[in-house]
Amino acid sequence: MSRLVKLAALQTHYGADLQDNIDRTIALIRQAASAGAQIILPSELFQGPYFCTTQDERWFASAYPALEHPCVTQLQPIAAELGVVIPVSIFEREGPRYYNSVVVLDADGTALGTYRKSHIPDGPGYQEKYYFRPGDTGFKVWNTRYAKIGVGICWDQWYPEAARAMALLGAEVLFYPTAIGSEPHDGTLDTRDPWRRAMQGHAVSNIMPVVAANRIGVEQGLGDDQHFYGSSFIADHRGDLIADLSRTEEGIAAGTIDLTFLDRHRAAWGFFRDRRPELYDLN
């Protein structure tokens, strides 16, 4: 018997008003759920503007303990009401430590746990090392009501090791909340296609669907203008796009996968059977 699961990525713009951002996200979650989506991914740090374009200490005040974050506490009853799984991206504070994190909400609203972003970028327009410590959770997989899911955060999505680690832990689908756009040091550099291809490669190499949710719009007043290029998508186990959005479109990308078929197909390819981990420890 097939295990069919409908996945969705959300895409919209965000601003300075936390409550408006949460309300905007909830509206899209309801839209996705009404279309039958069961696991729904908002984009990275949807609590506000992507503040990491500059180094400004005022943003530390926008962090919360994971289970007290308004994005978590307000989406928990939504997850329970709609019976959907939601990975919630937040700016997390734990004592004097700050992280870029995801809290995974199961379909009854239960917080299954927290993943902290492992790879922290530090470059023009993406100065995250000023704000976030490298994650200390290691990679995780959650057994949700509908599927075993792995979640990486933005810069994590470029690393094949991260995707493979989650696959080895038993993930059936990989999710990547993202905030990515223009490169302020080089106006001619457009990373949209390599960004997609990196994750499509993870889908192929792990015989596993990948869902990526990015934001859209131009955010100003935080250093150089940042133009987010959207292009959220769902790739199937072949890396083919089964749903995607444009660079400017607000809405949802949704698609259905068959986990029973994928489990058998993954075994048939032999990528995990033929691994040689004793040869890979090169640091």
Active site residues: 44, 117, 154
Distance CA 27, CA 46 (A): 13
Burial readout 156-173 (b: 16 or more C-beta within 10 A, e: otherwise): bbbeeebbbbbbeeebbb
Residue 188, CA distances (Å) to 153, 182, 184, 219, 247 in order: 25, 9, 9, 19, 16
Crossing angle (nearest 10°) for helices 18-34 and 70-82: 20
Distance CA 18, CA 196 (A): 29
- The token pair that represents 3 in the structure block: 């295990």
Distance CA 26, CA 75 (A): 7
DSSP β-ladder status, 4-11 and 39-41:
parallel
Q: Are 219 and 181 in contact (CB under 8 A)?
A: no
